[in-house]
């Protein structure tokens, strides 16, 4: 298990995929299955958009790969051998993890720029940059609620207990300026719970703590704001990657926070001490990725500049 002490000794243990040269800015979305056996990658530009690997195999080539046009994100669905993908047009597809076949396809009826799957895999929060928010019921394939927000919306999240939905936002001001804020809704009904303006032009992303007692919001100034729920009062502020954390994820006990930036780098933060315990960069401004802890708590994955996926862990002592 990674802890604030052991995470200091992270090293690159394994890479997946073959190197791919791309003239485009590259961004990867990564995700583990609940058993930490399978790992997926969505490549938003360049390469094959949807790939996944069986980590029990020594092979570096994907178990399966599909050309899913304009794929935004994907997840392994808990308690099943299925994988869910979502596209910019709001198309939801499920795939068999073991044989790679397409199982279903559903249209949500709205564009998507960011998405978050509930911890039980039954609901999907979808946001569009123009201010549209939707909650989709995956078991019934229907829309639970939908709303329009006047702000530009960025990364979104659902609380572990299913009570709240949140998103980072930018509100238009006079002239060409914007003001960053956090939007909070009742995840069951879509009713607004609160809005909190913060000292920034944009709030790139939000993430709930595993306890569900607070959420963290990342701004363009390289700060992380821990906000209490439901009032969104500032509890503490930590430093993040200088250009702002585009994506964040806590480990299961909330002691570590992994954050990735648009500067082809990621950091692992000791939440209690408020300091970085590990940092990595491949110094490629044309590339970025989210960073994820494996569910078993042993590894961290991150997308690399050549289209490969790296897995970091702590090497056993001889």
pLDDT at 48: 78
In angstroms, what is the C-alpha Rg of the chain?
A: 18
**Cα 126 to Cα 75: distance, rounded to the nearest angstrom:** 14
pLDDT at 22: 66
DSSP state of 8: G
The candidate with the shortest Cα–Cα distance to 137, out of 116, 147, 122, 125, is 122
Residues contacting residue 178 through CB under 8 Å, at least 6 positions apart: 152, 170, 171, 172, 201, 202
The candidate with the shortest Cα–Cα distance to 39, out of 287, 311, 313, 315, is 311
Token pair listed for 9: 């000794």
pLDDT at 253: 95
**Cα 241 to Cα 249: distance, rounded to the nearest angstrom:** 14
pTM tops 0.85? yes
pLDDT at 286: 63
* Residue 259 backbone class (left: φ over 0; alpha: ψ -120 to 50; beta: rest): beta
**Cα 306 to Cα 222: distance, rounded to the nearest angstrom:** 26
Compute the half-sphere exposure of residue 115: CA atoms within 13 Å on the CB side of its CA. 28
- Whether residue 241 contacts residue 265, with contact meaning beta carbons closer than 8 Å, is answered with yes
Q: Please give the torsion angle defined by the CA atoms of residues 242, 263, 273 and 170, in that order, rounded to the nearest 10 degrees.
A: 60
Residues of the chain with pLDDT under 70: 21-25, 46-47, 175-176, 241-245, 262, 284-286, 318
Within 190-308, strands assigned E span 192-197, 203-208, 214-219, 223-228, 234-239, 245-250, 256-261, 265-270, 275-281, 287-289, 291-293, 300-303
In DSSP terms, which residues pair with 245 in a beta bridge?
261
Q: Give, in order, the Cα–Cα distances in Å from 44 to each of 68, 179, 258, 273.
A: 10, 27, 21, 35
pLDDT at 243: 61
Residue that the structure tokens 């946001």 belong to:
127
**Cα 10 to Cα 85: distance, rounded to the nearest angstrom:** 30
The candidate with the shortest Cα–Cα distance to 304, out of 43, 38, 1, is 43
pLDDT at 33: 97
- Whether residue 212 contacts residue 229, with contact meaning beta carbons closer than 8 Å, is answered with yes
Token pair listed for 111: 């564009």
Domains of the chain: 27-260 (2.130.10.10)
**Cα 81 to Cα 219: distance, rounded to the nearest angstrom:** 37
- Whether residue 203 contacts residue 171, with contact meaning beta carbons closer than 8 Å, is answered with no
Token pair listed for 239: 């430093």
**Cα 243 to Cα 260: distance, rounded to the nearest angstrom:** 10
């Amino acid at each position: 298990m990674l802890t604030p002490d052991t995470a200091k000794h992270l090293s690159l243990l394994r890479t997946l995929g073959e190197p791919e040269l791309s003239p485009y800015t590259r961004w990867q979305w990564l995700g583990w299955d609940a058993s930490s056996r399978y790992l997926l990658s969505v490549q938003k530009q360049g390469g094959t958009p949807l790939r996944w690997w069986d980590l029990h195999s020594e092979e570096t080539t994907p178990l399966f790969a599909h050309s899913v046009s304009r794929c935004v994100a994907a997840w392994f669905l808990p308690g099943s051998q299925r994988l869910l993908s979502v596209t910019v047009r709001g198309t939801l597809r499920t795939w068999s993890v073991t044989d790679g076949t397409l199982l279903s396809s559903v249209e949500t009826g709205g564009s998507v720029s960011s998405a978050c799957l509930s911890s039980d895999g039954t609901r999907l929060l979808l946001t569009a940059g123009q201010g549209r928010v939707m909650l989709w019921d995956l078991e019934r394939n229907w829309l639970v609620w939908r709303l329009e927000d006047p702000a530009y919306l960025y990364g979104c999240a659902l609380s572990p207990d299913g009570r709240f939905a949140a998103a980072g936002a930018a509100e238009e001001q006079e002239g060409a300026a914007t003001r960053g804020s956090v939007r909070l809704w009742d995840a069951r009904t879509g009713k607004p719970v609160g809005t909190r303006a913060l000292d920034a032009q944009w709030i790139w992303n939000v993430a709930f703590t595993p306890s569900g007692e607070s959420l963290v919001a990342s701004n363009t100034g390289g700060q992380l704001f821990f906000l209490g729920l439901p009032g969104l009062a500032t509890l503490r502020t930590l430093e993040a990657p200088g250009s702002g954390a585009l994506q964040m994820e806590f480990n299961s006990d909330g002691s570590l926070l992994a954050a990735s930036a648009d500067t082809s780098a990621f950091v692992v933060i000791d939440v209690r001490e408020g300091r970085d315990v590990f940092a990595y960069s491949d110094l490629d401004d044309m590339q970025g990725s989210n960073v994820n802890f494996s569910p078993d708590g042993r590894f961290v994955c991150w997308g690399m500049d050549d289209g490969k996926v790296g897995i970091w862990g702590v090497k056993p002592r001889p």
